[in-house]
Structure 1
Amino acid sequence: MILIRNAEIYTPEYMGKKDVLICGEKIECIKDSIEDLPGWCEIIDGENKILTPGLIDQHVHITGGGGEGSFHTRTPELNLSEMIKGGITTVIGLLGTDGLTRSVENLYAKAAALTEEGVSAYMLTGAYGYPSPTITGEIDKDIVFIKEVLGVKLAVSDHRAPNVTEDELIQIASKARVAGMLSGKPGIVVLHMGDAECGLKPVFRALSDSSVPIRIFRPTHVNRNENLLEEAYRFLEKGGYIDLTCAINEHFAPGECIVKAVERGLSTEHITISSDGHGSWSEYAQDGTLLKIGVSKVDALYNELTFMVKELGMPLEKALPYMTSQVAEALNLLPEKGVVKEGSDADLLLLEKDMTLSTYIAKGKIFMKEKKLIRNGTYE
């Protein structure tokens, strides 16, 4: 049992100064003042601190990604301590370019390992390629029968993409859609968007030639270039969801893209932000020659939140939903995840007034307290 006293609560909406009681993995009670607790209840002083939901990062290469510059460029696995330091209490793992030396089975094992270590981890089946690599042999069976699988990953409009036909894209989406309905999951097709000129046109065509709901398609990295971002705003206007990637393009930071969307009068409720953590970033010449390669970090998500609040002047309650409640809603994880609410999972962050992370709690267990790590991954 843990009691957090006198913290300024953002649910993400501002709630004021309250006490929060955690019992087991859940938030049991939120009141102005909670008294008469047993002596063994751990008390955390939240005075002059901000309490928020833990961040949800829906795009992380938890088993590593890359390998686009040969075997020595395979990026490393995610460590639990990186999630803690980045304020991420829930992660969705996926594969990328490499669906050959990396497997969906290994991805599942890593998600299970992170869950055993105390955080919440889900995954997507598939990778860049087509037919999609799966565990059961079918996309829909993976979604229906494997608890952790929320949808499928695919790449389009990229020089590394499998160049699926419109009919194949519709079939993939239809399978994911039905599997989601049967299992109570989002049943989504997360689309890695590349720099190719065709952009979101394949998705718009698939929507016009089928009855697949627009919410099934989830394009990500849409802030990688101006033309793609313009198409993403159109997609958003039609009721779709778009995911903005941190640190993908210095000219199109997620927070600045959101500001532009607001200025255009667009609803931003279907916008989410993710890190693409542990994926490789790369630069190519026009002839396809690899020029530069590096690794994305999961702390980019927390850094973007800080940038939005401190540099863009966005109120915290306006910035938080893009990486908490709106992600949870998009993934059918509300109200368990993404909010500070009675009955929700006790995935919580305590921040200093300057946005520095002070305390990290996942499923009711303290992993960081007063900026000191007290839990690590098994082999850290």
Structure 2
Amino acid sequence: MTPVSSHAPHGRPPLRTVQVLGGGNTGSGAHVRSLAAGLVARGVRVTVCAPDEAERAYDFTGTGADHVHVPRGSDPVAVAALRAACADADLVHAHGLHASFRAVLALSGRRAHTPLVVTRYDRVHAEGPRARLLRVLERRVMRTATVVLGATSDLVDRARRAGARDARLAAVALPGPRPPARPGDPDGLHPKLRAELGSVERPLLIAVGSLDRHRGYDVLLDAARAWRRLDPVPLVVVAGEGPLRAALQRRIEDEGLPVRLIGRRDDVTDLLAAADLALLPSRREARSLLAQEALHARVPLVATDVGGIPELVGDAAELVPYGDAEALARAVVRLLGDPGRREELREKGVRQAATWPTEDETVAQVLSVYDELTQPQPYL
């Protein structure tokens, strides 16, 4: 059933929401676009407040939403721009910790109460003074928000510990078109792509994500030493950019590792469909887009047993402890040598993916929260 607010009953104007986004990482930016499209289709007026680069990357206006440029950061200029955009909003929905803190500042001091919904996609990890600052911001946001939506049960529990008055599980659906199922490559793209990457007659292992410390690529390189003993030697391809690129490339060259860093790519769907295995060696993950894409694409996944990964994939992936390069290497070697187990994981992946909420269900759940917070309350 479509929530009643979308039809503006009894002559009420359409619900107006403001979606607040920071830089827009892969998860939050894609989710906001999906959410904007679904809300607009249901008659909700949507304004997305985000930097211009996020609009260029995700085309929020292409969904029928309005876009207002709000620069990164919580300086007075950014907060003032956001405050103006939220002036006549019925509800504000902020995505991620930094965007949420900016929304808290923009809504503070207003006479009329505007409900604030916050979505948490991941835990924020840092060290030293920055970690203490982030904990202060997190407590401020969690205690101020009307409702906190966590992408995983772990994030919901963390929000409650940080002081959230109302924290709920709201899984984020994988947006966009699904990768084609394997096997079957009528256009011959995958052999061409494997040839381009240098993996014509050798297994191709794919990892995707920014080259940051929490991604666990140092552990991945440790594991790659063991794969040099295989015949043929698997090729590990890492798609992404980040501050560790130079250090990782130096290790690859110094140790002669069968690993290629190919930078940021816009053909991750094709990379996954061409791969024999997908690898997710991260120290922390919430509702990983790579894991979702791998299972949808019927690509066997080896991932670390951290954060929201076990809840997301169930028994449809090989899980290993974070930081255990030997366990990661053994899991990969075992899968490469066992076609039956790879096919079993493909079938389990299809069944597990079928249990995830669809984009339509995700939008309906969010809109039901909006209705709850904005519908007039009956007199007692």
TM range (shorter): 0.3 to 0.5
Pick the structure with more helix per residue: 2
Higher RCO (CA-CA < 8 Å; seq separation 6+): 1
Question: Which structure is larger by alpha-carbon Rg, 1 or 2?
Answer: 2
